[in-house]
Amino acid sequence: MRRRQFLQASAASLIWPAAKSFGVEFGSSKPRRYALIGTGWYGKSAMFRLLQVEPVEVVALCDVDKQMLAEAAEMVAQRQASKNKPKTYGDYRELLKQEQPDIVQISTPDHWHCLPMIAAVEAGADVYVEKPISVDVVEGRAMLAAARKNQRVVQVGMQRRSTPHLIEARDTIIREGKLGKVGLVEIYCYYHMRSRENPPDTEPPAHLDFEMWTGPAPLRPFNPMMHPRGWRAFMEYGNGIVGDMCVHMFDMVRWMLDLGWPKRINSSGGTLMFPGGKSNISDTQTVTFDYDEMPVIWQHRAWGTAPDPDYPWGATIYGEKGTLKASVFSWDFIPQGRGEKIHRDVTYELDEYPEDQTEPGLEKHCAPALRGHMKNFLKAIDERGRPVSDIEEGYISSSCCILANLAMQTGRTLAWDPDKAQVTGDEEVNQMLARPYRSPWIHPDPEKIG
């Protein structure tokens, strides 16, 4: 029997000899207490990858959709070692108060990342929060301040940093100097992601607490496109395709090339091709993240075809000695002039984790990255260190994407001052760094947290 299977089978009754490696006190049989806030598609995908690498005890789930919540509780009872069904809650505040979990995973829509994350670290939990960390820049600052003040480990779900084949590309191509000096990076997404549908507004379903689902976001009439999974079509709840897809690729190249904040950000685009429908996000957008001698240029088109069909969502890094193309599925190194081309594909790990083949909705190619990300998160918790996708990295990548949308909205190039956390010489945009919260929710103030 493999070690992983042995641990999962015996976790409920065995005192683990190697308990320290699992983040518990030596001689204790108690696993870490884990809670999930937001039981939708990706929340479950990430949580079940965690259960594959450590037998945590999922003690509680929280969701404003009673139907989704009940289904998730049944799935957890089947998958976790103890076979216990977690307690269920409709309000994250009650969960944190009653359960006091060691670790909290936040996989809600984007507009609900900030407040639960701050509440969780203040309650003493370490946190795994999905990307982008926030819907406005000030939220992100507050989240970073809360994590540091409470000395909590926070891992952001930007798992390209833990993707095995991309780690190989960074280590064997970039760090070994095969690209030489890099002069340009293109990041892009050509998936047809913007919905053109125009269904009528309806009453929310009886099993959904739509008031709580909306939370601090503007209250608009319920539409079947919103829930489940369709909320990214609306700027009220996220930051469009830039906040969804660009943040992954932008963060990936920042990690690969060791980049911090860009000096300037400009953007153009909008809903140019198909302005009809309920969705209010852009279908065409170009962003330049300016790093002086090396611009990082994003483009998305929710229409047409990809220039390279093998890389419809990815990054192309141009160096003086060669070019690297990278995506969630593969990478290719093309040398300048003579030299050997190198190609690598994602490793699926289906033999070692056969449950990946049958889990509904799982992106199988992302499963190894999620497992790696969870292992890194747990290691950081044990060592009380910074994970690979620490909250500060999430703050930088998320904020830059938010600023890109503000640059497009205002039609201006934004010069960012990371020390002051403001746009230099543009008070109008600085007033837009915090979106108004709907009453009774109160926007967090990073100055009061820190």
The pair of three-digit structure tokens given for residue 362, joined into one six-digit string? 């799982």
Query: Rounded to whole angstroms, how far apart are CA atoms 100 and 436?
Result: 30
The pair of three-digit structure tokens given for residue 272, joined into one six-digit string? 């140019």
User: Does pLDDT of 359 surpass 60?
Assistant: yes
At a CB cut-off of 8 Å and minimum separation 6, what does 447 contact? none
What pLDDT does 383 receive? Answer: 98
Query: Rounded to whole angstroms, how far apart are CA atoms 360 and 116?
Result: 27
Q: How many residues does the chain have?
A: 450
pTM of the model: 0.93
Query: Rounded to whole angstroms, how far apart are CA atoms 52 and 92?
Result: 25
The structural domains of the chain, with segments of one domain joined by +, span 3-160, 163-214+222-350+392-425
What pLDDT does 162 receive? Answer: 98
Region 204-216 average pLDDT: 98
Average model confidence (pLDDT) for the chain? 93
User: Does pLDDT of 11 surpass 50?
Assistant: no
What pLDDT does 30 receive? Answer: 87
CA atoms within 13 A on the CB side of 185: 31
Provide DSSP, 162-184.
G-HHHHHHIIIIITTTSS-SEEE
* Superfamily of the domain at 163-214+222-350+392-425: Dihydrodipicolinate Reductase; domain 2 (3.30.360.10)
Helices within 54-103 (DSSP H only): 66-79, 92-99
Specify the pairing of strand 126-129 against strand 154-156: parallel
Q: What is the pLDDT of residues 34-64, one digit of tens each?
A: 999 999 999 999 999 999 999 999 999 999 9
Query: Rounded to whole angstroms, how far apart are CA atoms 314 and 341?
Result: 18
Region 178-204 average pLDDT: 97
Region 223-245 average pLDDT: 96
Share of the chain above pLDDT 90, in %: 91
User: Does pLDDT of 192 surpass 50?
Assistant: yes
Region 99-104 average pLDDT: 98
User: Which of the four pLDDT bands, split at 50, 70 and 90, describes residue 29?
Assistant: low
Query: Rounded to whole angstroms, how far apart are CA atoms 218 and 225?
Result: 16
Share of the chain above pLDDT 70, in %: 93
User: Which of the four pLDDT bands, split at 50, 70 and 90, describes residue 95?
Assistant: very high
Domain 3-160 has CATH 3.40.50.720: yes
Region 292-306 average pLDDT: 97
Q: What is the pLDDT of residues 385-423, one digit of tens each?
A: 999 999 999 999 999 999 999 999 999 999 999 999 999
The letter for the amino acid at 396 is: I
What pLDDT does 338 receive? Answer: 87
Q: What is the pLDDT of residues 121-163, one digit of tens each?
A: 999 999 999 999 999 999 999 999 999 999 999 999 999 999 9
At a CB cut-off of 8 Å and minimum separation 6, what does 215 contact? 111, 112, 115, 438, 441
What pLDDT does 176 receive? Answer: 98
Helices within 243-317 (DSSP H only): 247-257
What pLDDT does 28 receive? Answer: 46
308 or 11, higher pLDDT: 308
What pLDDT does 13 receive? Answer: 31
User: Does pLDDT of 372 surpass 90?
Assistant: yes
